[in-house]
Structure 1
Amino acid sequence: MSPGATMERVYLALKARILAGEFTPGTRLDPAQLSRSLAASATPVRDALNRLSGERMVESWHQDGFRQPQLAEGDIADLHGWLGTLLSLALKGPRPRPESPDVLLELAAHDRYPDAVDRLFRTIAIGTANRELQYSIVNAIERSAVFREAEAKIDERAEEALAAMADDYRFGRWSALRSKITRFHRQRVRLAGRVAAHLRPRSQPFRQ
């Protein structure tokens, strides 16, 4: 396998592990240790970590390597505010009606809240012709994945709100969907402190 293909394989595998929440916040991501589980040398692992650092999926510290981000309340609140703004922008202007049965099936196919959030927001991103906006939405979705499970546990109405947004998308109710997306993310911002506390290992002090 070529070096480029190896790095791509390692990048995708490592990203999948991060999105699945395999690494607790603050975990040091050592290329030498990860190379064994990823069946690759440390060099493509380091290259993949640098790429993920550029996407802000991991943190890179000078002379201290890579770490899984440890998100404080402000980090989570800012990310929710940003994602809500991006999704609202994507829904402005003419929108294609989601007539394709495949789209409707995919929106209803996920039982787990994190997967359902991911699918709906990615579907909205795909509907915009602005590629920069698409990329920004997907990046924000992926960076939010680490706290979706905690979010569902803390906000017992989160799944109900998500189902209502999915219904609006299915029936092309764009104005109603924009309003619900705004309310959804405002509620996420209000709960950011509780989500951050849930994610933070008890041994770690509070970080502003």
Structure 2
Amino acid sequence: MKDKAPTLNRVYRELRKEVLRGDYVPGHQLDLSEIRVRHKASDTPVRNAVNRLVGEGLLKNTSHGGYYLPHVTEDHVRDLIGFSLRELILGTEEAEVVGRTIAPLPSNLAHGNVLVTTEALFREIAKSGGERARRTMEHVNDELHAIRLAEPLLIDDLQVELEGLIKACAAKDWQILRERLKDYHLLRLQLVPRLVTVLYADRGGVEGASDEARENYQYRR
């Protein structure tokens, strides 16, 4: 029997990348037959790959055997941002107590994509609280990834903001780092309605966004 594991892993990686890249609007119903054709795979590896993404919280399944992207609501995004801040503050406190140095980011990240670099930095900070904290932050990063894709439309100087976080980490200036992490998250909490609206409106939908958020988005455009 032909080993399906290589096909499963390939389909899983490609589908995961598509979801995180924001190729699908939240609530989008996946067409498994289209995925089979597009990824040149049979039903079993496709379903196994999709179920793995369900286990990671990136997809949801229905009682009828279908799969879709979770809807993004303002309340859920606020909860995620608040949780992210708490985990990162705990990470800095743990690093300060044990004298841990946050590992410097690889040069290709430090000078590359702001979103990817921010997520890598947050994983490193959370890692001070242990492997469980690192995995938790990785999951939070995944859930917030699509929202963060909308940030360049609404937030200026993302690179400057990131560089401030990296410098505070490198200097082990924990108080400054905590202040900058709070500023980072509070700004996004203020922008949640507009971020959610951009996530949907760029793809023709606004479910989960408030009337005020829709007006803000139209004004921004």
| Separation (CA, whole Å) in 2 of partners of 1:64 and 1:198 | 30
Three-state SS of the structure 2 residue aligned to 1:57 is coil
Q: 1:98 to 1:77 in 2, by over 3 A?
A: closer
Which string of whole-angstrom CA distances, capped at 9 and with x for unpartnered residues, describes residues 76-101 of structure 1? 1111111111122222222432576x
Displacement, 1:11?
Answer: 1.3
| Separation (CA, whole Å) in 1 of partners of 2:188 and 2:204 | 25
Amino acid at match of 1:149: L
Aligned pairs (5 A) from 1:69-148? 69-93=70-94, 94-98=98-102, 103=105, 105-110=107-112, 112-125=113-126, 127-128=127-128, 130-148=130-148
Which string of whole-angstrom CA distances, capped at 9 and with x for unpartnered residues, describes residues 88-141 of structure 1? 2222222432576xx35245221x33222122213324x426221111000111
| Separation (CA, whole Å) in 1 of partners of 2:159 and 2:77 | 19
| Separation (CA, whole Å) in 1 of partners of 2:73 and 2:187 | 17
| Separation (CA, whole Å) in 1 of partners of 2:190 and 2:69 | 24
* Aligned sequence identity (%): 25
Displacement, 1:59?
Answer: 2.1
State the TM-score, normalizing by the size of structure 1.
0.86
Number of residue equivalences: 204
Three-state SS of the structure 1 residue aligned to 2:41 is coil
Asked if 1 retains the 8 angstrom alpha-carbon contact of 2:90 and 2:129, the reply is no
Aligned pairs (5 A) from 1:49-64? 49-63=50-64
| Separation (CA, whole Å) in 2 of partners of 1:32 and 1:206 | 26
Higher alpha-carbon deviation: 178-187 or 152-161: 152-161
Amino acid at match of 2:130: N
Q: 1:99 to 1:8 in 2, by over 3 A?
A: closer
Find the counterpart in structure 1 of residue 31 from structure 2: 30
Question: What runs of 5+ residues in structure 1 fail to find an aligned partner?
Answer: none
Which structure is larger by alpha-carbon Rg, 1 or 2?
2
Find the counterpart in structure 2 of residue 152 from structure 1: 152
Find the counterpart in structure 1 of residue 175 from structure 2: 175
Amino acid at match of 2:173: R
Amino acid at match of 1:115: V
Give the root-mean-square deviation of aligned CA atoms.
Answer: 2.3
Q: 1:31 to 1:78 in 2, by over 3 A?
A: same
Question: What runs of 5+ residues in structure 2 fail to find an aligned partner?
Answer: 210-221
| Separation (CA, whole Å) in 2 of partners of 1:43 and 1:95 | 49
Q: 1:99 to 1:160 in 2, by over 3 A?
A: closer
| Separation (CA, whole Å) in 1 of partners of 2:142 and 2:58 | 8
Q: 1:141 to 1:23 in 2, by over 3 A?
A: same
Three-state SS of the structure 2 residue aligned to 1:136 is helix
Three-state SS of the structure 2 residue aligned to 1:191 is helix
Asked if 1 retains the 8 angstrom alpha-carbon contact of 2:197 and 2:206, the reply is no
Asked if 2 retains the 8 angstrom alpha-carbon contact of 1:113 and 1:149, the reply is no
Moved over 6 A (4+): none
Find the counterpart in structure 1 of residue 214 from structure 2: none
Amino acid at match of 1:81: G
| Separation (CA, whole Å) in 1 of partners of 2:6 and 2:187 | 42
Amino acid at match of 1:29: L
Amino acid at match of 2:152: A
